[in-house]
Amino acid sequence: MNELKLSVLMPTYKNPMIGEIVTKAHDAIISKFEPGTVEFIVTEDGSGDSTPELLKRLAPKCGITPNLCSKNRGYLAVSKELYALAKGEYLFFMDSDGEHDPADFWLLWNEMKEKNWDIVVGYKLNRRPYSRLLISKANNFLLGMFFGIWLNDANCGFRIIKRDVAQQLVPKVGNLPIAPNAEQLVWAKRMNYRFAQVGVKHINQESVTFTPGIKMLPVLLRAFKDLLVFRLRIGRLQ
């Protein structure tokens, strides 16, 4: 029996592109590994539409293990569950919003294998629109000021992490509800894990959770508040 080398983890919620994204991920990643060495877990977060049936139909073709939820629990809960379900030696987490090219997985994979990092994180090159780029830069700056961790795209949902490292980090995440991927790296730095950043292409997509302009200020204020509270608490959260 082959050793399970990689787990591909993907959350999805009310995403009309999910069929296309799953197929691309299969063709670019899953199909390149030997049978039995990779698993593909897609968690559907209670969208209330036809997504569960679509994933079931795609399962045989794309090697998906569908993880279906009856109600919406949110990105944080779903991402933590995906990490807990994974059995591979390496875990590749990829958002299903269509903003990443699954083929860029190999940029992260090669960096991970060549230098034996604990985590390799993608960062979006030429990100658009500018409103979301501004939020990302503000979040990156605050992370640097509060935690001494200077990153290009800290909350990017496109990353590879060793499973044994994820088992140590992911249970701690939950203090930054709108930036759980960024918090993962705060804990990684605090626990002396090694991580690297790799630039990946950005495909601009309309967000189902973010409206430019109207929600920018509340998002920035909440991010600042969450980061400040986390910074004040982190000494007793070890």
Q: How far is CA 105 from CA 24, 29, 153, 194, in A?
A: 12, 7, 16, 19
Q: Establish if 187 belongs to a structural domain.
A: yes
Q: What is the pLDDT of residues 140-189, one digit of tens each?
A: 998 998 999 999 999 999 999 999 999 999 999 999 988 999 999 999 99
DSSP label of 114: H
Q: Establish if 164 belongs to a structural domain.
A: yes
Predicted pLDDT at 238: 43
Q: Establish if 232 belongs to a structural domain.
A: no
Q: Establish if 146 belongs to a structural domain.
A: no
Separation of alpha carbons 219 and 14, rounded Å: 21
SS3 at position 196: strand
Q: What is the pLDDT of residues 52-78, one digit of tens each?
A: 999 999 999 999 999 998 899 999 999
Side by side, which strands form the sheet with 6-12? 64-68, 38-44, 6-12, 90-94, 158-162, 119-125, 195-201
SS3 at position 206: coil
Separation of alpha carbons 153 and 124, rounded Å: 7
Packed helices 18-28 and 51-62: angle between N→C axes, nearest 10 degrees: 20
CATH number assigned to the domain comprising residue 38: 3.90.550.10
Give me the domain span that covers residue 14. Answer: 6-128+153-206
Predicted pLDDT at 216: 66
Predicted pLDDT at 236: 46
Q: Establish if 218 belongs to a structural domain.
A: no
Q: Establish if 175 belongs to a structural domain.
A: yes
The structure's pTM equals 0.91
Q: What are phi and psi of 74, to 5 degrees?
A: 100, 160
- The total number of structural domains in the chain stands at 1
Q: How many residues does the chain have?
A: 238
Q: Establish if 38 belongs to a structural domain.
A: yes
Predicted pLDDT at 128: 74
